[in-house]
């Protein structure tokens, strides 16, 4: 067996591991972050379960940190108290980005992790099966429920050679994105193998696993080997290590080979992580801003390389350089070894250990600016400045370009400065709060920003209305439910947020949906790529959207739609998509009967402007029951065993 199969087999509670077939796995650990967490905990509370049933569940505060009004702090208080009440660890604001802290403090090779954030696969770097999902799926897992998914195909990426100086792990994943595209990983687990793997440290593997999310992959896995042991031991966690590797005769559904020695620095140009070009080919572009950090590139090693490059140099006069360390542990280590002083001396604006600019929480670039970021997404508008051109690059490319003021290939910039990795980091878990043994007496504090979330109801009879909008391919969750410094504080307030649903595509969408009493969304390929945010389903639900008619869907968003009772229908004939238009009438006769038949493989008859369109609803019997119950929450309440 390969690693992915071993991890799945050891957690399998349902299904037979045939690619595409439905399986269910037991979840050992969960994580939430604050922008998806409030909703996940409201949903968990609605399930009426006293205490989480996982081995470990952690609630992080890392996204909503601006606190420009009382909303963020209200949400922090709610999450802190609800976590304590239900047996969940709490990572306080300032402790770091969820994926970085989870990897450092809680990753356990061989275990499963489900997180309400699409970059949860980061912990695949330590031999975990780590999957991103919607908040409701995570809430169910916290309650002890299994996680259901389609058995992925396993794609082996065989690494040979070794990275050259100034070429980084980021360049490996950018190369894979260039080859496979943002849809290339859909329905797959990306498993790394080959002699090149042991040349990569766990933080480097984490960069690669993290951005596997941009391929659309279910997750990414690396073996657990001596490098994994080294990583855990340096953090006082050798007891959590166990080996995990693929059998010599393991079989894969697909193979890709990358010779690490052949790679050069790469950049993803706006507005998609797969719009990749070698830095050498596009070098010379004048740069206004450089942002280093995010869950992709904010490890101790990343920032040591940056400090080495900046040592004794200064950022160019026209460049604003920000640095967000991934965790308090990273920041403390940099402070103790003097690297922080080098960053400050070079003119870096050191931000707190949080997502920050990656999710548009501050540091929006100037109009038409060029921003180089070590992050994982450069979707349209995500930086807070729609006219900005955001390039995704390695920390090395970012640091060198910050000094020269133009996009610069770091290979042309001289030797890579060496640095030491401590054999033992100073461990300080003072900002991680363990839950009390009995949370019974804890009062959950709900500020005025916490509003009830919309609840789906079981579909009855014929669904009809208008196509409220017609969209193209690769619509991201940042289009569907934008997140910026103005909107992110309202993640606990769907009625308010819904006013901005699909606004980057059409500002009038929300008002039109409300005026027409709901309707349908028509879209192209890969609808809903990107974030796990359930709000991209909850806002349409609030606006009365009954179904999304698309050519294809991204995995997490498709599940989020179904979990919230919205039908994800797929065109079987592109001509029907071409013929559909905004304002067309849409009718799905006897929806419950058609949903039931779809689970048996029958096509769904959807009339667009009175003309039948070929559509399918690719669902399992369980998904049929979820849709017929009016979403996962209703279904879970109906099926609770205790």
Residues annotated as catalytic are 62-63, 117, 377, 531, 533
Q: Are 379 and 528 within 8 A, CB to CB? A: no
Cis peptide before 271 (omega within 30 of 0): yes
The nearer residue to ligand MIC, 390 or 584, going by C-beta atoms, is 390
Partner in contact with 483, chosen from ligand SF4, ligand MIC, none, beta carbon below 5 to 8 Å by kind: ligand MIC
Beta bridge partners of 270: none
CA atoms within 13 A on the CB side of 39: 32
DSSP string, 275-341: -EEEHHHHTT-B-SEEEE-TTTS-SHHHHHHHHHHHTT----TT-EEEE--SBHHHHHHHHHHTHHH
Distance CA 334, CA 362 (A): 23
**Paired tokens of 331:** 């920041």
> How far are the Cα atoms of 169, 235, 297, 298, 417 from residue 420, in angstroms, in the given order?
18, 15, 18, 16, 10
> How far are the Cα atoms of 10, 303, 531, 563 from residue 356, in angstroms, in the given order?
37, 16, 16, 29
What minimum distance in Å lies between the beta carbon of 120 and ligand SF4?
9
Number of CB atoms found within 10 A of residue 266's CB? 27
The nearer residue to ligand MIC, 96 or 518, going by C-beta atoms, is 96
The nearer residue to ligand MIC, 36 or 111, going by C-beta atoms, is 36
Q: Are 378 and 394 within 8 A, CB to CB? A: no
Distance CA 121, CA 124 (A): 5
The nearer residue to ligand SF4, 224 or 327, going by C-beta atoms, is 327
What minimum distance in Å lies between the beta carbon of 295 and ligand SF4?
3
What minimum distance in Å lies between the beta carbon of 531 and ligand MIC?
3
- Residue 338 exposed, middle or buried by CB count within 10 Å (0-12, 13-18, 19+): exposed
What minimum distance in Å lies between the beta carbon of 175 and ligand SF4?
20
Q: Are 69 and 487 within 8 A, CB to CB? A: no
Please report, as ranges, the residues that interact with ligand SF4 according to CB under 6 A: 63, 97, 117, 119, 294-295, 355, 358-359, 375-376
Of all residues in the shown chain, the one whose CB is closest to ligand MIC is: 533
Distance CA 619, CA 299 (A): 40
- Residue 524 exposed, middle or buried by CB count within 10 Å (0-12, 13-18, 19+): middle
Angle of CA points 394, 383, 392, to nearest 5°: 20
What minimum distance in Å lies between the beta carbon of 324 and ligand SF4?
8
Distance CA 261, CA 411 (A): 13
What minimum distance in Å lies between the beta carbon of 92 and ligand SF4?
16
What minimum distance in Å lies between the beta carbon of 176 and ligand SF4?
17
CA atoms within 13 A on the CB side of 506: 14
- Residue 262 exposed, middle or buried by CB count within 10 Å (0-12, 13-18, 19+): exposed
Instruction: Report the SS3 class of residue 346.
Output: coil
The nearer residue to ligand MIC, 5 or 298, going by C-beta atoms, is 298
Partner in contact with 294, chosen from ligand MIC, ligand SF4, none, beta carbon below 5 to 8 Å by kind: ligand SF4
What minimum distance in Å lies between the beta carbon of 352 and ligand SF4?
12
The nearer residue to ligand SF4, 31 or 629, going by C-beta atoms, is 31
The nearer residue to ligand MIC, 502 or 598, going by C-beta atoms, is 502
Beta bridge partners of 159: 258
- Residue 609 exposed, middle or buried by CB count within 10 Å (0-12, 13-18, 19+): middle
Partner in contact with 391, chosen from ligand SF4, ligand MIC, none, beta carbon below 5 to 8 Å by kind: none
Distance CA 545, CA 463 (A): 10
The nearer residue to ligand MIC, 26 or 533, going by C-beta atoms, is 533
Partner in contact with 533, chosen from ligand MIC, ligand SF4, none, beta carbon below 5 to 8 Å by kind: ligand MIC
Closest CA to 131 of 31, 3, 6: 31
The nearer residue to ligand MIC, 342 or 373, going by C-beta atoms, is 373
What minimum distance in Å lies between the beta carbon of 294 and ligand SF4?
4
Q: Are 277 and 265 within 8 A, CB to CB? A: no
> How far are the Cα atoms of 593, 613, 630, 641 from residue 625, in angstroms, in the given order?
12, 24, 9, 16
What minimum distance in Å lies between the beta carbon of 551 and ligand MIC?
23
Please report, as ranges, the residues that interact with ligand MIC according to CB under 6 A: 35-36, 63, 117-119, 132, 359, 483, 530-533
Cβ-based neighbours of 586, under 8 Å, separated by 6 or more = 463, 464, 465, 466, 467, 519, 520, 547, 549, 606, 607, 608
The nearer residue to ligand SF4, 296 or 389, going by C-beta atoms, is 296
Query: CA dihedral in degrees (469, 474, 475, 479; nearest 10)?
Result: -150
Angle between helices 300-310 and 202-211 (to 10 degrees): 100
The nearer residue to ligand MIC, 54 or 492, going by C-beta atoms, is 492
What minimum distance in Å lies between the beta carbon of 180 and ligand MIC?
19
Instruction: Report the SS3 class of residue 523.
Output: strand
């Amino acid at each position: 067996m390969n690693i992915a199969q071993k991890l799945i087999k050891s957690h399998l509670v349902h299904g037979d591991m045939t690619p595409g077939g439905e399986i269910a796995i037991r979840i050992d650990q969960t994580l939430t972050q604050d922008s998806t967490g409030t909703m996940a905990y409201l949903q968990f509370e609605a399930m009426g379960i006293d205490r989480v049933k996982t081995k470990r569940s952690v609630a992080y505060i890392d996204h909503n940190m601006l606190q420009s009004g009382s909303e963020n702090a209200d949400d922090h208080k709610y999450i802190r108290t609800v976590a304590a009440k239900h047996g969940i660890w709490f990572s306080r604001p300032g402790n770091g980005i969820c994926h970085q802290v989870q990897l450092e403090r809680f990753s356990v090779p061989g275990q499963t992790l489900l997180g309400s954030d699409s970059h949860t696969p980061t912990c695949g770097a330590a031999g975990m099966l780590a999957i991103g999902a919607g908040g409701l799926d995570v809430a169910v897992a916290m309650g002890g429920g299994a996680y259901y998914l389609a058995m992925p195909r396993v794609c082996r990426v065989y690494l040979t050679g070794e990275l050259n100086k100034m070429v980084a792990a980021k360049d490996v994943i950018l190369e894979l994105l260039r080859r496979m595209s943002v849809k290339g990983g859909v329905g797959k687990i990306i498993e790394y193998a080959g002699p090149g793997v042991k040349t990569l440290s766990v933080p480097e593997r984490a960069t690669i696993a993290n951005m596997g999310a941009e391929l659309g992959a279910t997750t990414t896995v690396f073996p657990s080997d001596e490098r994994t042991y080294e990583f855990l031991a340096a953090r006082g966690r050798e007891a959590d290590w166990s080996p995990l590797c693929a059998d010599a005769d393991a079989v894969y559904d697909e193979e890709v080979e990358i010779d690490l020695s052949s790679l050069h620095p790469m950049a993803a140009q706006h507005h998609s992580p797969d719009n990749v070009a070698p830095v050498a080919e596009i070098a010379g572009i004048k740069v206004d801003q450089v942002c280093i950090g995010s869950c992709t590139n904010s490890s101790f090693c990343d920032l040591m390389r940056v400090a080495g490059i900046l040592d004794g140099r200064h950022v160019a006069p026209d460049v604003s350089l920000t640095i967000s360390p991934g965790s308090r542990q990273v920041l403390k280590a940099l402070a103790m070894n003097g690297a922080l002083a080098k960053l400050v001396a070079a003119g870096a604006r050191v931000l707190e250990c949080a997502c920050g600019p990656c999710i548009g929480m501050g540091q929006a670039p100037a109009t038409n600016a060029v921003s180089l970021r070590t992050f994982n997404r450069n979707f349209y508008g995500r930086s807070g400045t729609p006219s900005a051109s955001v390039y995704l690059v390695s920390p090395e490319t970012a640091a060198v370009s910050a000094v020269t003021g133009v996009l610069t290939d770091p290979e042309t910039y001289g030797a890579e400065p060496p640095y030491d990795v401590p054999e033992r980091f100073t461990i300080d878990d003072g900002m991680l709060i363990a839950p009390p043994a009995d949370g019974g007496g804890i009062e959950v504090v709900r500020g005025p920003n916490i509003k009830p979330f919309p609840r789906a109801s079981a579909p009855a009879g014929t669904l009809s209305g208008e196509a409220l909008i017609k969209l193209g391919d690769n619509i991201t969750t940042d289009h569907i439910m934008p997140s910026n410094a103005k909107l992110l504080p309202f993640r606990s307030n769907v009625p308010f947020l819904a006013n901005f649903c699909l606004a980057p595509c059409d500002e009038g969408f929300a008002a039109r949906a409300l005026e027409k009493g709901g309707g349908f969304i028509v879209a192209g390929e890969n609808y809903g790529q990107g974030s796990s945010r359930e709000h991209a389903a909850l806002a349409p639900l609030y606006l009365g959207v009954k179904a999304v008619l698309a050519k294809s869907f991204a995995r997490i968003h498709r599940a989020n739609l179904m979990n919230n009772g919205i039908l994800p229908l797929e065109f079987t004939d592109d001509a029907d998509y071409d013929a559909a238009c905004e304002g067309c009438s849409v009718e799905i006769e006897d929806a419950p009967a058609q949903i039931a038949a779809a689970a048996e493989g029958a096509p769904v008859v959807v009339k667009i402007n009175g003309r039948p369109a070929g559509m399918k609803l690719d669902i399992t019997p369980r998904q049929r029951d979820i849709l017929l119950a009016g979403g996962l929450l209703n279904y879970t309440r109906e099926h609770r065993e205790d």
